[in-house]
Homo-oligomer: A and B are copies of this chain.
Amino acid sequence: MRIDLNADAGESYGVWSLGQDQALLALVTSVNLACGFHAGDPLTIQRAVRTAKEKGVAVGAHPGFPDRLGFGRRQLDASPEEIYADVLYQIGALSAFVRAEELTLHHVKPHGALYIQATRLKETARAIASAVKDFDPTLPLVVLPNTVFEHEAQSAGLRTIAEAFPERGYTREGLLASRGTEGAVIHDPRLAAQRALQMVTKGLVESVDGSLVAVRADTLCIHGDNPAALAIAGAVREGLEASGIEIRTF
């Protein structure tokens, strides 16, 4: 049994620092780097790729909406053509730094509102999948399982990586509970570690109303903006390893 742990990084901008890339990248096996639209800038990307290289972490692109002020978290009514072109641009920009550091781009995972939109709108999912495919048809795309996003990515012939969230609450339908509702974010590292273990070994998670729901996970996401991010990442990793699960990227 094995699992990947992923986190977002490279989210600083110019003089503005954000996140704890050095510490977080010591704990995960793959990283999603902001590409300059919602966060990141050329020098930040270079630095983040180098940090990932030092830590031996696989580097993925983390394209977002062109909304730096909103950190890519605000829904934007972009057309599928715009989304295709925005995603392709960002993957290309990031991949240049990956190439300059003699690494290989490992995967793509959309950010924030773009990711959420892709789980709901077929056209958005398809536009993202087309951009990835046109850049490199062998590049895996990280998706929320059982959504139109997964379906469209697979229809495009892409390899999909199913993602689960040990520190996020799930509804009884197996979807993420909305931020702001009770139990939507888990702050206790021990609880997150238990949920991670249950996700990986049993394919199950306890929902916000107490029922058990099925989850598929090729990778577990650790959010860097959770104040307990490092403690959670550490506890999740330790708990999995203690149970003999191999922590390795897909």
Contact = CB atoms under 8 A, between A and B. Distances in A.
A97 B93 contact: no
A124 interface: no
A100 to B, nearest CB: 4
Contacts of A77: 74-76, 113
Contacts of A135: 96, 99-100
A97 B96 CA distance: 13
Interface of A: 12-18, 36, 41-43, 45-46, 66-71, 74-78, 81-82, 85-86, 88-97, 99-100, 113, 131, 134-135
Given A66-B69, A100-B131, A100-B135, 8 more contacts: A16-B16, A16-B17, A36-B89, A67-B76, A76-B77, A85-B97, A89-B96, A92-B96
Nearest to A12: B16
Number of copies: 4
Contact of A85 (B42, B70, B85, B134): B42
Nearest to A89: B42
A91 B42 CA distance: 12
Given A42-B85, A74-B77, A77-B74, A15 B18 contact: yes
A106 to B, nearest CB: 16
A75 to B, nearest CB: 4
A162 to B, nearest CB: 26
Contact of A71 (B15, B76, B96, B134): B15
Given A16-B16, A66-B69, A89 B97 contact: yes
11 contacts: A36-B89, A43-B81, A66-B69, A70-B78, A74-B77, A88-B100, A91-B96, A93-B93, A99-B134, A100-B131, A100-B135
Contact of A134 (B76, B88, B89, B100): B100
Contacts of A89: 36, 42, 45, 93, 96-97
Contact of A74 (B36, B78, B93): B78
Contact of A70 (B14, B75, B113): B14
